[in-house]
Structure 1
Amino acid sequence: MVAALPQVTYAQTAGDTISVECPPARLVELCVELDARASVDSAAGPLSYRWLMGDGTTLTGPTVAHCYTERRRYTVQLDVVDEKTGEVRVAEKLIPVDFTQEIVLNFEASPANARVGQPIAFDALDSQLPLCENVVVLWDFRDGVVANGRSVKHTFRRPGNYIVRMALRGNGPDTCPDSHCVTRQVSITVEP
């Protein structure tokens, strides 16, 4: 079973990042939990389970949990060993794990705390709307300035805490247009 995805907020109209409440950005873990206990063969006796996770990792046991480091497709192979006979049932089950088809909304601000006049780099990281062909990244810095692009720089002119919004706006095919947004706070101080 693939771990639950965070809830995303749908904008009221495509690209609307002003009138909708956007949740805070957070990193989505690329994790799975797998359970082979239902595959017990009472006639065979005790079984051992070997999971080849598709990224070079091998785990053992009837239940396993694993987190991947890259957002891509994996095939998990479950080998079952009959402990009585030593027989290895190779590829008893193949399980596709696909992290490329989920909506991802996350961004970083570097530095997250800056001084008035200091540029901050904003990066949409691996944010994606996988079912949309054309995706635009929109930024609302909440100081009257907006921008677009996966990576942008912005300089705040006044001190304060700004709840920066990043929105992904997708167009075409069928399920698009679609729009999602997230926020992250940036603190701006006066120079010492």
Structure 2
Amino acid sequence: MTLRGLVRFLYGLMVLVGLLAAGPAAAQQAGDTLSVDCPAPRVLEMCVELDARRAIDPDAGPLTFRWTMGDGTQLTGPTVQHCYQRRASYTIQLDVIEEATGEVRTAEKLIPVDFTKEIVLNFRAVDTVRVGQPVTFDALDSQLPLCQNVVVLWDFRDGYVTNGRLVQHAFRRPGRYAVRMSLRGNGPDACPSSHCVSRIVQVIP
């Protein structure tokens, strides 16, 4: 039996995108940061789990599965897991080696993985800050892939609003502020008008 017959297909590829916050974000009307509740940011894990066990012919003898993950990482085994650090498109290559003969089947399977198509609603900031201390708010990873002309809007809940993917703000009074970040874009019908998330910043004297 040839190695092509040993591994007919890759079974059970799962692209796991972990939502670490509950529920989808609420849609808003353009420019509105007040009328809807904004949930916590949705943090997406860019991880894949790959399983080739059901593609193995038990009569074929020992096989080595070599996975090239597309980001410089190489893993071996019939099942592997991997998390990516950068939001991008990758092609995973599976090479299969028949251990008895050393025969290598290069690119037995090519698996495209694209993390650029997911809606990402997240921003980074410190949890606690002092009055008057500048705070950086970073929404560089957020995206609405189906939208055009996406604008990032900020409402710091202290009377100050601004826009931009990377901004700074200094709170003038102590308190607990549910800072809101919303993405607004336009495009085809599948493009949501806006999405909003919030994160608590505690301001101390």
Common fold by TM > 0.5: yes
Structure 2 unmatched ranges of 5 or more: 1-13
Q: Matched residues in 1 for 2:37 and 2:90: separation?
A: 34
Deviates more, 1:170-179 or 1:119-128: 170-179
The TM-score, its normalising length taken from structure 1, stands at 0.89
Displacement of 1:120 in angstroms is 1.7
Give the SS at the match of 2:54: helix
Pair 1:185 & 2:205 matched:
no
Displacement of 1:130 in angstroms is 1.0
Give the SS at the match of 2:16: coil
Displacement of 1:154 in angstroms is 1.7
Q: Any idea what the Cα deviations from partners look like across 1:89-146, whole Å, max 9, x if unmatched? A: 111110001111111111112x432222222221212111111111010111112222
Q: Matched residues in 2 for 1:151 and 1:71: separation?
A: 18
Among 141, 145, 153, which residue is 2:168 paired with? 153
Q: Matched residues in 2 for 1:130 and 1:35: separation?
A: 29
Answer whether contact 2:27 2:192 (CA < 8 A) is retained: no
Pair 1:106 & 2:122 matched:
yes
Q: Matched residues in 2 for 1:43 and 1:118: separation?
A: 68
Answer whether contact 1:11 1:17 (CA < 8 A) is retained: no
Answer whether contact 1:104 1:129 (CA < 8 A) is retained: yes
Q: Matched residues in 1 for 2:149 and 2:192: separation?
A: 9
Identify the residue that residue 81 of structure 2 maps to in structure 1. Answer: 65
Displacement of 1:80 in angstroms is 1.1
Displacement of 1:15 in angstroms is 4.8
The TM-score, its normalising length taken from structure 2, stands at 0.84
Among 78, 82, 96, which residue is 2:98 paired with? 82
Calculate the aligned-residue CA RMSD, in Å: 1.8
Displacement of 1:14 in angstroms is 4.4
Q: In 2 relative to 1, CA 43–14 (structure 1 residues): closer, same or farther, beyond 3 Å?
A: farther
